[in-house]
Structures are given as structure tokens and as C-alpha cells.
Structure 1
Amino acid sequence: MVATKDVKFEFKRLYKYIRDDVDLEWVLLNCLIAGSLIYGKLGYYAGVIIFSAVVLIKIFAKNLINSIFTLKLALETEGNKIYLSFVFLNLFMAMLLVQIDYSGFASFMVLVVIRTVLGIENMYVQNLILTDLIEGLYNWGETGDVSSLASKKTLESAKFLNSIKEQISESVDKKMESEYLKTELITNISHDLKTPLTSIVNYTDILGKKDVMDDEAREYIKVLGRNSERLKNLVVDLIYASKTGSGDVKVEKSFIDFNELVSQIYGDYDEVLKRKNVEFVYNYGSEEIPLYTDGNILSRIIQNLISNAYKYSKSGTKIVANTKYSEDYVFFSIENVSDQKIEFTEKELFNELVKSEKSRTTEGSGLGLYIAKNLAEILGGSLSLKMENDIFKVILEFKKDLS
């Protein structure tokens, strides 16, 4: 009884396989080749009979059209012109099958060659289908319907690739949500810190102007004022870093002159540069360099670059800024001689809060380059670094966008 059930189960599996998983070209060729090996010339007739039975099964299952490999190739020639050459080749081989003499060994060899050619065609088609699926995964495009030419194994691979894509998409969504929540948390906390900090800064300023106060108290007030102002700047940088990191910065463009912008900014640093005995040199190719961009964002970038150069420049050296331009682009560079050995890579320096142990005792948040890079990208530009020995150079590139 158990054996009978097993036989029925195997017959059902065979029937399902013939109905759904095999194309008629392979059935015919395999039946003819196997029949000739077992029964010789009579085997060809047996192969044709078996093939006819398979055709009847396909007709009964209403799956005949979907089981002709050459027809499916013809229907997909619009997507790939090579399929059309395969169609003509297969029709030519079908004519050979009809015309060859099945009484000799040559006919067997012709069948083997045709079977090999069809196998190569199928291999090419399956590889092409998988390549398209992988490119869709890489390009993050929408998942389309898998080609009707796909084999069972290719369909399994397609399901596996789609599963990977869904997992990656889910992972990216979770990461983006996490980054958004982190940005919101930082922004909210920073805003909460700004309110008491503003009060501390204001009342410190008021206390500093009182006449009745001994020298020690005045010194304490100065320290309190200096550090509360520094803390306020750190909080502002933290908020800005959070916003620029998430791209949450509104861009409002207008026409500005780049040289005028740079001159105004480095003029603000004239006093502190003199105190540190650092000279600022600005070289430019034209008196006017018109731009259509967000002046506030670009100003913040230049401020951060000059500030970064000033903070870490060696006393008695020069900060050299250069502006070059083409019809469509402006290239601004600023370089300084570092007061300490540069031990970070470009990637590390663009990360958040990267500061050496020595620089942690100086003013600044360590977010300047990180913010500048994010803002440059928001404006459609780029920021890069070049470091050689103690020379530190930053290159800013962005579009004029005068069109």
C-alpha cells in the first residue's frame, strides 16, 4: 500500500514537472537522443511518441504556448535583439531535424550539436536575466516581472535577490529613521540648552559692567563670560552639524560677488590673526566673480575654513587663499602651515568631532570641516583636502549657476 502511494506521488511529480518546467525543444531532442542510444533507429520513433505524449499533456494543461522556447524568444526580441538571431537559428535547426536521414550516425551527431547550441542559448538567456536582476538590485530600481524565459532555478535566484533587496531596503529605512530621531534629539536638546545659556551670557555681561566689584571677582566674571560664550558657540555648531548632516537646510539663492564675500569674512579675522602673528594672503584672478547661490550658506563655509586655518596655523606663518574660476565653476582653496603634526586621514578629518588631544584644549567644536563639507554638498559643490608634511590645504568647488 505504501509502495503504491509512493509510485502515485512520483507520477504526480513527473506530471507536474512535464506540465510546468520543461520546454518542448528540450523534450524532443532529449527523447530523440536517448531513444537512438537505446533502440537505434526504432528509438527515434519511440522518442517521437513520448514527445507527442508530452505535447498532449501541455495542451491539456493549457500550457503549450508557454512551453515553446523559440516562441518565447520571439516575443522578447524587443528587449534584446540577440534573441531574434536565436529565433532564426532555431528555425534553421528545426528544418534540419525534418530533413536529416535518421538511419545513420551522422543524424545522432546533428541532434547532439543542436542540443548543445540550444543549451548555450539558454545559458546566455539565464545569465542575462540574472544580470538584469542584479543591476536592478544595485540601482535600487523597482522590481519588475521576471522574464518568461527564466528557468526554475533562475526564478529561485530572483526570489532570493528580491528578498535581499527587501532586507536592505528595510535596513536602510531603519537607519534613516534612527538618524532622523538622533537629529531630532540633538536639535531639541541643543535648543533647550540655548535658552539657559543665553541667560548666563547676558547676566554675565551685566555683571561685568558693575562698578562695585574687586579684581578677583572681575577675573571670575571674565572666565565665566568667555566659557559661557564658548559653550554657546558649541551648542550652535552642534545644532548646525545636526541639520547639515541630515540635509535639513533651506537654500535661498541670490546674486552675490564671491570676492566681496571673502574680503568681508577675512576682514572680521584681521584682529585675531594679528594677535597670533599670522598673515592672510588672498589671490584672485578677477575683481568680480558673480555667483547665483545662497550667500548665507557660502559665507558659513568660508567662515569655517578661515576659522579652521587660523586656529591650527603656526605662529609667524601665512594663510594663503586662492580663487580660480572657469565659465561654470569657482575653485576656492585655502592652505596653512599646521602648528602640529597632522595624524589624521582626509576621511577622519571630515568625520564629526575629530580633534587631536592637543587641539581639544583650544577653542572650537571640531565640527568646522564636517559642517563645511555638508554645506558644500547642499549647494551642489564639493570639499576636499590635501595634506603634505605640515601643509594643510582645503579645496572648495562649486557652480556659478548664472544660467
Structure 2
Amino acid sequence: MATRWKNKCKIKYFLWTLLCIVPAMVILSAYPHIREQSEKESRKYYTTREFAEMLYNGNQVLYEEISGANTRELDPPGNSFREIRPYLQYEVLNKNGKTILKNGESLKQLLAQDHLKKYDWIVQMEYDHLGNAEVTECYGTYAQKMKVRLSEGLYYQYEDQYEDVETAEEMGTPADCTFLYGMTKEQGQAYQSYIGNPFYAVYYRSGMADMIRISIFVLIGAAIFLPFVKKLNTGNERGFQMPVEIIGITVIGLLILWEAVTSLVISTMRGDIQDRLVQLGLSNGDAESMVMAWNLIVWIIYFSLIYWVTGSIRNLISIGWKQAVRERIFLIPFLKKHRAKLEKACSFLKKKWSGLAKRVDIFFRIDLQEQSNKVIFRFVAAQFVIVSLFCMGWFFGIAGVLIYSVVLFRTICKKYYKIKQDYQRMLQATEKIASGNLDMSMEQDFGIFDPVRKQLLQIQSGFKSAVDEEVKSQKMKTELITNVSHDLKTPLTAIITYVNLLKEEGITDEERENYINVLERKSMRLKVLIEDLFEVSKATSKNVKLELAKVDIISLLKQVRLELSERMEKSELDFRWNFQEEKVYLTLDSQKTYRIFENLLINILKYSLEGTRVYIDVSDNEDIVTITMKNISKGELNFNPGDITERFVRGDVSRNTEGSGLGLAIVKSFVELQKGKLTIEVNGDLFVARIEWRRTEMEDIS
């Protein structure tokens, strides 16, 4: 029984060996045939139709060179006489047989003397006066075939193109001349090197690729059907009971190896591997034997793997998919055993992937403020790199490109949907702003439209400021009318009253004089009020002409102090003047600047608490000149410092004191006209007025 089982095993192993070795030996035996065929093909390069067309194109080119005729363009790229001209010997004869153009020895004399051993081929073509061409001489191993090709080329080239013309002149073709072409053996070898050896074409045309495929199909068939022969007891060996993962990897490897094996065959027939071994010091015979042995081993391994993979797949099918999943998929028990570690690893990879996705998103982020070329270049460069990587995978690269196309489609759709959502958010925000909703929130990210969101926020803020300013302006207009009415009405009422009193009979001269004095005071106050109003209106509208000159600020302040000295002495205020000894020059209008200082000091005299100190400081800090006036108010300072410089606004809200409410408004207007800055500060009862002039800014005053 044991002997019988051993005999079955021997038969089985013998069959396996035979199935793997015999196809390998058959393929190796075909190598010499393919090498011989490729050498023949390479020697017959001049018998192709393309080569014949290039020679006829050469006739046109050479004829144009010698005659200057306006011939038709018959030298197209890719099938050009320019490609073979460096490897050719050529000669052109006129109708009398005299040489008019050549680039080497005379081919006509060689044909006449029969000195042709060093030439691969020579051909002679004659044109009559009508431009009809005929191949009159053809020398070479494949001369007859070359002559047929040249005749066919002549027929196809001119039959349709010139069927309606009668003369060579009309055709634009050579006439009354003869063209001779030839290639020496050295030139022929150089040209063969230039065009390359046709091993691949011979490999597929010779049927060797079909032979390999047939061998593969035979092996697959044997692996499937031999287990049905019960005597062999094969198909269930342990070697066929491999995990699915190993089988899958092997199948992929075999598909990749197909190209590698094909390249090995071509390299062997071309002699590349043998040449390298000879360069390493081996003899030609040893190198050839080693190369053939290596080819035999590779083919045996390749066919063995095909047989083993087919047998393993058949074994999987025979046990059923449920048992195959339970027993033959290695990953399932592995995943169960290491589930916790794998979950941890997946979580880690998810974080890394998220970080990578963010970086990719930043890399491909579309910023409408950037140059569009940069964004497009980044995208195209990335696609170029990815597609280049897929191209390296041959057949699998095509599958990869298909998968990548699906992923790219999904990504673009997702990106498009996100852009659409961002656009809708931006549109809604714009509509709300347009409808007057200036308090809406725009905290959401607008994606690629985020720069627009920032602009919308600025527009929203600008509109809101404009509306607030308009409301404030309307309020100030109302207050202005009220204040102007009040301030104008008070003196006018007094004037009317005293005029009526003067009209009464029985008043004394003393009373009359007293009434006239009151009328004078009230009318003067009304005049000052109107003049101030007119002055501040002109200043606000920039309708004031400045008389600019170099003005010494210190001297001007002293002049104002002198003018108001009497009132200062009566005010019971302690004025502290902090001036520097040197003069401080600025380019200003002296009258307007005098009015600025006068109004500020009058304001101090009116509203300061008696018995307090008043500080007037002047500082010159190279570019900036600052005048600061500080006083303690006798009334509560319960107003907004920014509003006190507006027209008809007074610190005395009840308006019981004299004043137009235009003093600080005039100061502000005149300071700003002269490129200065007026700042009002309030700290409890401390009132501070500060004027700043920058010399660099004052250069632009006109």
C-alpha cells in the first residue's frame, strides 16, 4: 500500500515538474529563431514603404536645391528626408548624365564598374521631361523588394495628387534628371542604431507572446483538471492551502512579472545582459550559458507560480466561501486578537490624516486675494505628480487613475458644495445689509469668500457710522436751530423792548440815555453773534483764505495776554505762563491764530473758578509744537468733551451766561484749517484745551 502511494506521489511530482519545465524549454528553444528574425528585419530596413517615401521626398528636396523651383512641400515631419540624409550617399545627374550634385563618391561610376561590395544597397531613379519616374537600377540583398516598394510609393504618391495635370512644370516635380542613393554597410549600421532594433515587433509578430499565453492556459487547465484524476490524489496538498492574502499578493506579482519577463526576453535576444557579463570578464560562451540558465530558471519559477496560484484558487472554491473566510483569511483572526491595538492605531492615524487633510486644504485653499496663477499652478503641479506616479504602475496605474478620478470627482463635488454654501451665506448677509439690518452678526466663516466678509463688515460698520452720524447731525441741526433762535431772540427782544420804551412819552433824559446805552450793548452783542456765526460757517466750509507767514507763537500769546490784561487782573485768577526763552516759529495765519488764543483765554475768564490757578504751557519738541491751557471750572463739567467744540454748544446748558456758544467751534475750525489738532479733556472740574501743530504736516498748507 505504501509503495503504491509512493508511486502516485512520484507520478504527481513528475507531472508537476514536466508541466513547469517543458514550456520553459520550448520558449528558450524559440530564442534563436526570434534573434534571427529580428536581425533579418533590421537588415531589411530599406524595403519598407516609409523608407521609399523618404527617398521620393529626397528627390523633391534635392531638385529644389539645384533648380530653385517652387516645388510642393513633400518633406513632412516624422517621415522626413532630413532623418536619413546624414546616413546617405546621393548623386543627382542632368539629362545629359552629368553630375550636378553629390555628397561623396560617384554612385554612377560604382554601378558602371560594379564596385559595390561595401554598399548595403544602391538605387537609381530617372525622371523624363514629363516628370514620369522609373526605378532603373537597384542593388542590394533585398533589391527586388526595394524596387517593388519604390514603384508602389511612386504610384500612391502621385496618382491622386496630380491626376489632372499633364506636365512636370504643372506638377512641380523633378524632370529630365536622375537621382542615385546608396548606403555603405557602416552607414546602414549607423542608421539601424538610430531607428532601433525591432525586437519588440518581432517578439509579438513571431508568435512567441502567443506561445507563452498558450503555455499559461495549459498550466491553468492542468491545475484545474488534474485533481479530478483520483489516481493522482492531487489538489489538496498543504501547499495549496495558503491564506487568501498570500494568493492575492502572488496574483498581483504575476501580473507585474509579465512585463518583467517580457523585458528579460527582449534584453536576452538583444544581447544586453550577455554584453554586461562579458564586460565583467566572462567569455562569450560562459556569458551566453549563464544568461540562458537564468532565463530557464525565471520561466520555471514563473510557470510554477501560475500552477500553484491556480491550484490554490481551485482549492478555495472547492471548500466553499464560508469555510474559506473562517480558515483561509489570515487578517480576520489577527484583527480579532489585536482589536484594541488596531483601534488605537486607527485613532492615531485618523488624527494624522485629519492634520494632513488640513495641510492639504491649506495648500489648495483658494484665496481670491492671491494671484490666480499660483492657485492653478499648485493644483496642476499636484495632479502632474500624482498622474506621473500612476503612470509608473503600468496596468495597475490605470486602475489607480480610475480610483483617483472617482476620489477627485467626490472631492471636487464636496468643494463645490462648500463654495455654494459659502456663497449663499454671503448673499444672505448682503441682502440683510441692503435691507437696512446693520446690527446682524457675520461671525461665520465664508470660506473662499472670507475676504468679501471682511469687506462686508467694513461696509456694515461704515453704513452704521454714517447712519449714526446722520442721526447725530439731524439732532445737532435741531439743537442748532433752537440755540440760534434762543441766542438771537434774547438781544432782539431786549432791543424791541427798549425801542418801545423810548417811544413812550414822559421819560426823562437820563432814562433815555440809559435806554440808548442798553440798545447799543444789545445790538453789539447781536452783531458779534452774527459775525461769529458767519466766521465759523466760512471756516467749516473751508471757504477761508489764509494769509500764511512765519509767526512766533510766544510773541503772539504775549500780545493776547497784554490785550486781555485788564480783564485778567479783575478775574481774581492766578495765571501761570510757562514759556521758553527761544522763539517758536510756525507757518500760520497770524490773525486766525490770534483769534484762537483769544477765544480760549476768554473762555477761561468766563468759566474759571475765582481764586484758582490757570496754566498756559508752550512746548517745542522738534517736529511737534504743543500749547496747553488748563483751568478749574466753576460749574460742573457734565458735557461730552467731543461735543463742546460743536456750534452753539455751551458748557452752561441753562445758557444763563453771556456767550454765543461759537468760541470753541471757531477755535477748532481755525486750528484744523492750519493742519493742527485741538483736543479737549475733562477730568472732574479740570478743563484742558490742547493744540498740536506738526511742522511736517504744515508744509502742505495752502
Answer yes or no: same fold by TM over 0.5: yes
**Distance (whole Å) between structure 2 residues aligned to residue 327 and residue 267 of structure 1:** 28
- TM-score by structure 1 length? 0.55
How far does residue 113 in structure 1 lie from its aligned partner after superposition? Answer: 5.0
Name the CA shift for 1:359/1:291 in 2 (closer, same or farther; >3 Å). Answer: farther
**Distance (whole Å) between structure 2 residues aligned to residue 368 and residue 238 of structure 1:** 10
SS of structure 2 residue aligned to 1:280: strand
Indicate if the aligned counterparts of 1:383 and 1:394 stay in contact, CA closer than 8 A.
yes
Among residues 658, 669, 691, which one is paired with 1:363 in the alignment?
A: 658
Deviation per residue, 1:205-237 (Å, 9 max, x gap): xx9xxxxx7322222222212111111111111
SS of structure 2 residue aligned to 1:254: strand
Counterpart of 2:608 in structure 1 is 313
Instruction: Count matched residues.
Output: 272
Counterpart of 1:290 in structure 2 is 585
How far does residue 390 in structure 1 lie from its aligned partner after superposition? Answer: 1.2
My pick for the range that moved more, 271-280 or 97-106, is: 97-106
Counterpart of 1:87 in structure 2 is 377
Matches within 5 A, 1:209-220: 214-220=509-515
Counterpart of 2:565 in structure 1 is 270
Indicate if the aligned counterparts of 1:273 and 1:310 stay in contact, CA closer than 8 A.
yes
SS of structure 2 residue aligned to 1:330: strand
Counterpart of 2:576 in structure 1 is 281
How far does residue 354 in structure 1 lie from its aligned partner after superposition? Answer: 1.4
Counterpart of 2:535 in structure 1 is 240
Deviation per residue, 1:147-185 (Å, 9 max, x gap): xxxxxx98xx99x98xx89x98xx99xx8xx99xx9xxx
How far does residue 107 in structure 1 lie from its aligned partner after superposition? Answer: 4.6
**Distance (whole Å) between structure 2 residues aligned to residue 122 and residue 375 of structure 1:** 59
How far does residue 252 in structure 1 lie from its aligned partner after superposition? Answer: 2.5
Indicate if the aligned counterparts of 1:257 and 1:289 stay in contact, CA closer than 8 A.
yes
How far does residue 338 in structure 1 lie from its aligned partner after superposition? Answer: 0.6
How far does residue 397 in structure 1 lie from its aligned partner after superposition? Answer: 0.4
Name the CA shift for 1:278/1:81 in 2 (closer, same or farther; >3 Å). Answer: same
Higher RCO structure, 1 or 2 (CA under 8 Å, sep 6+): 1
**Distance (whole Å) between structure 1 residues aligned to residue 590 and residue 550 of structure 2:** 8
Identical positions, percent: 30
Letter in 2 for 1:277: E
- TM-score by structure 2 length? 0.33
**Distance (whole Å) between structure 1 residues aligned to residue 646 and residue 692 of structure 2:** 19
Among residues 675, 678, 700, which one is paired with 1:380 in the alignment?
A: 675
Matches within 5 A, 1:4-403: 80-81=370-371, 83-84=373-374, 86-94=376-384, 96-97=386-387, 99=390, 101=396, 107-108=402-403, 111-112=406-407, 116=411, 214-357=509-652, 360-400=655-695
**Distance (whole Å) between structure 2 residues aligned to residue 267 and residue 359 of structure 1:** 32
**Distance (whole Å) between structure 1 residues aligned to residue 580 and residue 654 of structure 2:** 35
Gaps of 5+ in 1: 1-76, 132-152, 208-212
SS of structure 1 residue aligned to 2:643: helix
Q: Which segments of structure 1 move beyond 4 Å, counting only runs of 4 or more?
A: 100-107, 117-124, 356-359
How far does residue 82 in structure 1 lie from its aligned partner after superposition? Answer: 7.1
Name the CA shift for 1:120/1:280 in 2 (closer, same or farther; >3 Å). Answer: farther
How far does residue 268 in structure 1 lie from its aligned partner after superposition? Answer: 1.2
Name the CA shift for 1:371/1:276 in 2 (closer, same or farther; >3 Å). Answer: same
**Distance (whole Å) between structure 2 residues aligned to residue 316 and residue 272 of structure 1:** 14
Indicate if the aligned counterparts of 2:387 and 2:401 stay in contact, CA closer than 8 A.
no
My pick for the range that moved more, 84-93 or 217-226, is: 84-93
Quote the RMSD (CA, aligned, Å): 4.7
SS of structure 2 residue aligned to 1:251: coil
**Distance (whole Å) between structure 2 residues aligned to residue 118 and residue 290 of structure 1:** 70
Kindly name which structure, 1 or 2, has the bigger radius of gyration based on alpha carbons: 2
SS of structure 1 residue aligned to 2:642: helix
Counterpart of 2:27 in structure 1 is none
